Structure 1
């Protein structure tokens, strides 16, 4: 398969009056053509910062290092003219909260047409037909092109955002909490639409959400973030069904399972709060909230270790926990209560 996106050692630090705040700390990700990568984690884990960094959409207070290779080109070293050419055409973003992302005083058809006119991907005489085609592709009648955003429902506005993202036929779509504000029925329709477009057109997608169940159902691979780092990654169904990192286990346990009375009547959560990014604890940053923490966890900030590697040391799953590393301290890892 062709690698569309290869993120290597991505680090993002925000400059603040009280000192620098590291929001993303050494993230590595890959997205293949026709593949979908889910990015999960609590609020403040760094998911949206990663999404915005991929196209250099972060504010001026952010300092970004590493490599973001989009079809072999490093986004972080692109000149502004080349970067403007890549946005919408090479990769596009479906932002969280379409009501705030859309211009309230412009008709939605004009907003869908704008990237096509800027990048000249469609002849001016065909723009109106292309807008109608895109609206119909996302399940809206072409007549809604003349409406302003306030005349559309939340689900319809989100579909307009998807149509805008598809306008220039990008190779990669980044969906940042694209269905958070929608009811479950519309959410299911939007997710089905995104999944269908990925498989039909062979594009890559990054789907960002705090909802592991949604990501497990619609993504090939899953990366779980905590305190600016990826703490577990691998095939989505495996990470959700049998998580190796205690944090991924806690996220999975927080969702009641249909048909399981125990999880419905006594759902398990995760006590405590994420660490202050400006002053993370020494060693493993998850240690203060981890029921499996041992003395070594205060001294070691574990890298991503392969989970159950085969004879040549390879594994489709990795977790940043000493309990899955080459030297496992103490007794076997306990499950979260």
Structure 2
């Protein structure tokens, strides 16, 4: 049994009298100790998916489907049970550490809070553990006395990782954890997450718009577009040779080291993702797709086999497999 199973997850936001679909029938599975990446442009539903996993969405959101964590459905948990699962069973690292940390509390107090809430330590032991966690993420224990504004962006992100690991969760959700950081600090934070996940045998679900980062960090990769998974498979295979045109466009948008042609002329993707409240008929990607057929504008494409351990929602997917 997978540690995390998402089955036909749908998330709809109420906006006045209308309903706006943000996640439309997502299926995902993540085993113990595995690393799954979720990629896509802004507005494709990645962060909504991440927040849904621990029911952190606003009251305007309506959820259906199943989110099974260790066999329990998060969507049917009581508030008391859900509170016990957050931090201890699964935790999340948000992309904006400055907005996630309390500006008027010292960081040591904030790291100790989940330990105290879950009864994992006495106040004295929680204080000592906070220092240990800071050292584990590469900060001196003395920084526990600092306030968030006294730390750099990279240091604040390390504090968020320390908080997420405080109660020894089995699942870590990292929602664009390096977006606000410069390139050098991004690399350090990514290596830190990789090392901690491997050392503690934690499952990782990492969200990013950068396929290259996910290909280097994760075992498998799911590409989302307009609220749906349009491709899923081994991370390196999806990055190097995506079966869905959208996955190929995302991969081509980033220059590759050692490839002068891609560095001098990186390829972009014209247009923007569709408005969730006015999705086009058929395959939602077809208005931007360079290889769309008439059928793409008529029929929504479901995931189909596209090679060993791979699926893609495209009429062209798996042509070599089917031939």
TM-score tier (shorter):
over 0.9
How far apart in 1 are the matches of 2:200 and 2:71?
20
Q: TM-score, normalised by structure 1?
A: 0.93
Is the 8 Å Cα contact of residues 33 and 203 (structure 2) preserved in structure 1?
yes
Separation (CA, whole Å) in 1 of partners of 2:261 and 2:126: 55
Contact 1:56 1:76 in 2 (8 A): yes
Question: Partner of 1:20: helix, strand, or coil?
Answer: strand
1:320 corresponds to which of 298, 301, 313: 313
CA distance in 1, matches of 2:124, 2:13: 44
1:240-319 map, 5 Å = 240-308=239-307, 315-319=308-312
Do structure 1's residue 47 and structure 2's residue 46 form an aligned pair? Answer: yes
User: Deviations for 1:290-335, whole angstroms, at most 9, x for unmatched residues?
Assistant: 0100111112111110113xxxxxx31100001126899xxx9xxx
For 1:270 and 1:186, how far apart are their aligned partners in 2?
Answer: 28
| CA displacement at 1:265 relative to structure 2 | 1.4
CA distance in 2, matches of 1:18, 1:261: 51
Using the alignment, how far apart are the partners of 1:326 and 1:84 within structure 2?
Answer: 47
User: Per the alignment, in what secondary structure is the counterpart of residue 231 of structure 1?
Assistant: strand
Which residue matches 2:191?
A: 192
For residue 59 of structure 2, give the secondary structure of its aligned residue in structure 1. coil
CA contact (8 A) 1:225 1:232 kept: yes
| Cα shift readout 1:219-252 (whole Å, capped 9, x = no counterpart) | 1110000000000011100000010000000000
SS of the equivalent of 1:323 reads: coil
CA RMSD of aligned residues (A): 1.6
Residue 264 to residue 133, structure 1, CA distance change in 2 (3 Å) = same
From the superposition, tell whether residues 217 and 326 of structure 1 become closer, same or farther in structure 2 (CA, over 3 Å): closer
Matches of residues 172-187 of structure 1 in structure 2 within 5 Å? 172-187=171-186
Aligned 8 A contact 2:95 2:177 in 1: yes
Alignment match, 2:105: 106
1:35 and 1:198 in contact (8 A); partners too: no
Q: Using the alignment, how far apart are the partners of 1:321 and 1:81 within structure 2?
A: 42
Q: What stretches of structure 2 of length at least 5 have no aligned partner?
A: none
Paired residue for 1:27? 26
1:254-308 Cα offsets, whole Å, 9 max, x none, are 0111221211111100001111111111110000000100111112111110113
Structure 1's consecutive aligned runs of 4 or more residues displaced over 4 angstroms after TM superposition are 325-328
Deviation at 1:124, TM superposition (A): 3.2
Cα distance in 2, alignment partners of residues 156 and 124 from structure 1: 24
- TM-score, structure 2 normalization: 0.97
What is residue 231 of structure 1 aligned with on the other side?
Answer: 230
* TM-fit CA distance, 1:125: 3.1
Matches within 5 A, 1:148-227: 148-227=147-226
- Does the alignment pair 1:61 with 2:60? yes
SS of match in other structure, 1:230: strand
1:312 aligned partner: none
